[in-house]
């Protein structure tokens, strides 16, 4: 038991060290440039100070920003003073900080300043000071100073969610040929990975492999919040369960696939219950293991008759409403069994979601038109109009 605990501790420590290479939050000091001096005797205006902008760009990481700017300080240029040669001073140079898409910009107090999702999105995070003018006695003002936080949340079509060693990394490799680190012990995935599932008609679906959760992740055990936050911007969840269940260590109980599934759902629900409003596909992995067919049959029977088996779950893992899955797909990521079907269903599930969203938009527009029509201009008996 001591040897097992020591081995688990070493793996957790190594994963923590490696996860440190992946930066998903950063605190920056930003300051707008000061304005330039005005000239009272000529009525000259000093130039305004430069602003500090965040700009979303492809291929940028927070790790690069941290490495290239160890002090994490960004300042706009100072506005030019007014002079005889140029009564209106030139504006100070703007400072542009390139960030990856998927960034939330917040204050230290947690107030959201902006969200940069698309490439090219930009936001001014520190305004430059005003140049000296008649209204300020020709004295310039200093630029805005802020401490801001950049919080990266991955954007992907689908995200693989599961306990450690459920085979998520192997599954991502089978789906997209992504080069992920794979081993036979828990906590293989130590940072989020994104792979692209390619189709014959050149359609692409992005799938994120999120590091394995542990029980208590919603309370930030392990690196819970660092992992769970990446689920928030993913369109659909792919919950991956080992058909034979899950056991973190010899000292912890062996959970059946049915128990494992609902413990996973509990972690998602307790972190943010809105996550369970997303479309969910259940993937039952490791169908190549001995007795997998028998365990699959038992698992599916428990899912179909979940109320009869709720006594198998801990009290805090018994949901008020059992989750409905868009699809349930048994696969073997290591042998490839079921992978072609899964690829088709992933695309189908996204297309169904898009069609549903389009239909909801159409219904909303129809209701808006009906509302406008009911309040439109109506003729009076005398030929005038009543609004």
Mean pLDDT of 190-194: 66
Most confident of 227-231, 250-254, 332-336: 332-336
Say which residue, 214 or 31, is predicted with more confidence: 31
Please, which pLDDT band fits residue 227 given cuts at 50, 70 and 90? low
Mean pLDDT of 8-36: 68
The pLDDT value given to residue 132: 95
Instruction: Name the least confident of 109-123, 180-194, 295-309.
Output: 180-194
If DSSP codes are grouped into helix, strand and coil, which group holds residue 198?
strand
High-pLDDT (> 90) share of the chain, %: 42
Q: What is the tens place of the pLDDT at every residue in 233-271?
A: 788 999 999 999 988 777 778 889 999 898 888 888 887
The pLDDT value given to residue 74: 97
| pTM metric for this prediction | 0.66
Tokens of 213: 């959760």
Please, which pLDDT band fits residue 230 given cuts at 50, 70 and 90? low
Please, which pLDDT band fits residue 36 given cuts at 50, 70 and 90? very high
DSSP 298-345: HHHHHHHTGGGGGGGS-GGG--SSPPPPSEEEE-BTTTTBTHHHHHHH
Region of 100 on the Ramachandran plot (φ > 0 left; ψ -120 to 50 alpha; else beta): beta
Q: Is the pLDDT of residue 49 over 90?
A: yes
The pLDDT value given to residue 365: 87
Q: Cβ(21)–Cβ(191) under 8 Å?
A: yes
Please, which pLDDT band fits residue 12 given cuts at 50, 70 and 90? very low
Q: Tokens 């599932």 belong to which residue?
A: 197
Say which residue, 3 or 182, is predicted with more confidence: 3
Q: What is the tens place of the pLDDT at every residue in 64-88?
A: 999 999 999 999 999 999 998 899 9
Helix (H) or strand (E) holding 207: strand 204-209
Mean pLDDT of 314-334: 84
Q: Cβ(89)–Cβ(47) under 8 Å?
A: yes
Mean pLDDT of 213-229: 48
The pLDDT value given to residue 221: 42
Give the whole-angstrom CA distance, residue 125 versus residue 359: 38
Say which residue, 195 or 136, is predicted with more confidence: 136
Give me the chain's average pLDDT, please. Answer: 82
Q: Is the pLDDT of residue 26 over 70?
A: yes
The pLDDT value given to residue 78: 97
The pLDDT value given to residue 222: 42
The pLDDT value given to residue 27: 94
Task: List, in order, residues 6 or more apart from 127 with CB less than 8 Å away.
Answer: 32, 51, 143, 144
High-pLDDT (> 70) share of the chain, %: 80
Q: Is the pLDDT of residue 184 over 80?
A: no
Say which residue, 291 or 227, is predicted with more confidence: 291
Q: Is the pLDDT of residue 213 over 70?
A: no
Q: Cβ(330)–Cβ(257) under 8 Å?
A: no
The pLDDT value given to residue 310: 85
First to last CA, the chain: 81
Mean pLDDT of 23-33: 91
The pLDDT value given to residue 7: 46
Q: Is the pLDDT of residue 101 over 80?
A: yes
The pLDDT value given to residue 192: 66
Mean pLDDT of 119-129: 94
Give the whole-angstrom CA distance, residue 261 versus residue 245: 9
């Amino acid at each position: 038991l001591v040897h097992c605990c020591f081995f688990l501790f070493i793996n957790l420590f190594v994963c923590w060290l490696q996860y440190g290479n992946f930066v998903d939050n950063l605190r920056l000091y930003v300051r707008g440039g000061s304005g330039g001096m005005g000239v009272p005797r000529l009525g000259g205006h000093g130039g305004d100070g430069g602003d500090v902008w965040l700009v979303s760009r492809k291929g940028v990481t927070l790790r690069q920003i941290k490495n290239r700017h160890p002090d994490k300080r960004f300042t706009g240029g100072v506005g030019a003073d007014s002079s005889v040669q140029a009564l209106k001073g030139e504006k100070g140079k703007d400072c542009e900080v390139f960030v990856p898409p998927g960034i939330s910009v917040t204050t230290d107090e947690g107030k959201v300043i902006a969200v940069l999702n698309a490439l090219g999105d930009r936001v001014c995070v520190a305004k430059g000071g005003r140049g000296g003018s008649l209204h300020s006695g020709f004295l310039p003002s200093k630029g805005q100073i802020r401490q801001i936080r950049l919080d990266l949340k991955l954007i992907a079509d689908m995200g693989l969610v599961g306990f450690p060693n459920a085979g998520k990394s192997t599954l991502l490799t089978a789906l997209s040929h992504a080069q992920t680190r794979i081993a036979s012990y828990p906590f293989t995935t130590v940072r989020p990975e994104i792979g692209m599932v390619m189709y014959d008609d050149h359609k692409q679906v992005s799938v994120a492999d999120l590091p394995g959760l542990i029980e208590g992740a919603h309370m930030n055990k392990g690196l819970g919040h660092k992992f769970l936050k990446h689920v928030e911007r993913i369109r659909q969840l792919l919950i991956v369960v080992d058909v034979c269940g899950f056991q973190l260590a010899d000292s912890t109980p062996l959970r059946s696939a049915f128990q494992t599934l609902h413990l996973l759902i509990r972690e998602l629900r307790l972190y943010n219950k809105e996550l369970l409003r997303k479309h969910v596909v259940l993937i039952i992995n490791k169908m190549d293991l001995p007795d997998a067919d028998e365990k699959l049959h038992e698992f599916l029977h428990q899912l179909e008759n979940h109320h009869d088996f709720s006594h198998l779950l801990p009290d805090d893992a018994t949901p008020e409403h059992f989750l409905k899955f868009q699809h349930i797909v048994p696969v073997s990521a290591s042998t490839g069994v079921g992978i072609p079907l899964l690829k088709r269903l992933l695309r189908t599930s996204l297309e169904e979601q898009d069609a549903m969203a389009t239909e909801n938009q159409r219904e909303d527009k129809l209701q808006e038109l009906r509302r406008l029509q009911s309040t439109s201009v109506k003729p009076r008996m005398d030929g005038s109009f009543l609004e």
